Each structure stands twice: as structure tokens, then as C-alpha cells.
């Protein structure tokens, strides 16, 4: 099964997403921020990265840029509570940096799992 990395500083949400993906037999690597994510990223294992955008240490925008340098074929889903309020929004910036999908918080874990499945098919 495909490998998914979750980068989310909210530990409760990170574990909720991990459980939802592991129930569907994805291999999951979790990180609390961008710095930890980049240290744990393994191109041979990770096919898709789900990253929050607003985090301590390195933010999700930096994660997207660095993942694109390391393994450009990696799919990326950006998640944020910042919303899509205008051209300067984090989700719009994530799209411009190459995120394959953006999801605004709050969302249902099932929505995210469907998007993961869609991108990895």
C-alpha cells in the first residue's frame, strides 16, 4: 500500500488522520512540524504528504517547496484553517507552490481519505 506522511502540529488531529489512513491500510509517517517532517521524509516510502500550513519551526509552505525539490512526483495535500479569503491566503499560496489539493479546516477525515485515494489512483 502507498505511504502517506501527515505533518500537523495539532496532536489530536494528527492522530485522528493517522487512524483513518491506517484503517485503509496506508503506511503512515507522522510529524508535528515541518522540520520533523523533512527529517523523517523517505522518498522510497512516501507517495503523498498531507501538510498543515501554519506550524512552528518550518511551515507547510516550506515543506511543499522542499518535498518538490527532493521528490517532485510526491503528491501533496495542503490543509489549513486560514481559509481562502483572498489571493494572499495560505491555501492559494500552497496551490501556487504545487500542492495537488487544498482542504480548508474544519473537514471530515473521510473527506481527506477520499482525496488521498483519488490522488494515489
Residues 3-52 have pLDDT tens digits of 999 999 999 999 999 999 999 999 999 999 999 999 999 999 999 999 99
Q: How confident is the model at residue 84 (pLDDT cuts 50, 70, 90)?
A: low
CATH code of the domain covering residue 74 = 3.40.50.2300
Q: What pTM was estimated for this model as a whole? A: 0.93
Could you list the residue range(s) of the whole structural domain that residue 68 is in?
Answer: 3-120
The count of structural domains within the chain is 1
* DSSP symbols for the chain: --EEEEE-S-HHHHHHHHHHHHTTT-EEEEESSHHHHHHH--TTT-SEEEEESS-SSS-HHHHHHHHHHH-TT-EEEEEESS-S-STT-HHHHHHHTT-SEEEESS--HHHHHHHHHHHH-
- What is the pLDDT averaged over residues 102-110? 92
pLDDT of residue 83: 52
pLDDT of residue 91: 86
Amino acid at each position: 500500500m502507498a505511504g502517506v506522511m501527515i505533518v500537523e502540529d495539532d496532536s489530536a488531529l494528527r492522530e485522528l488522520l493517522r487512524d483513518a489512513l491506517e484503517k485503509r491500510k496506508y503506511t503512515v509517517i507522522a510529524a508535528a512540524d515541518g522540520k520533523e517532517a523533512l527529517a523523517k521524509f523517505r522518498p522510497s516510502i512516501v507517495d503523498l504528504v498531507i501538510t498543515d500550513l501554519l506550524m512552528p519551526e518550518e511551515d507547510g509552505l516550506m515543506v511543499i517547496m522542499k518535498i518538490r525539490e527532493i521528490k517532485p512526483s510526491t503528491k501533496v495535500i495542503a490543509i489549513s484553517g486560514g481559509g481562502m479569503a483572498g489571493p494572499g491566503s495560505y491555501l492559494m499560496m500552497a496551490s501556487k507552490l504545487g500542492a495537488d489539493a487544498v482542504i480548508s479546516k474544519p473537514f471530515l477525515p473521510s473527506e481527506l481519505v477520499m482525496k488521498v485515494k483519488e490522488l494515489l489512483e
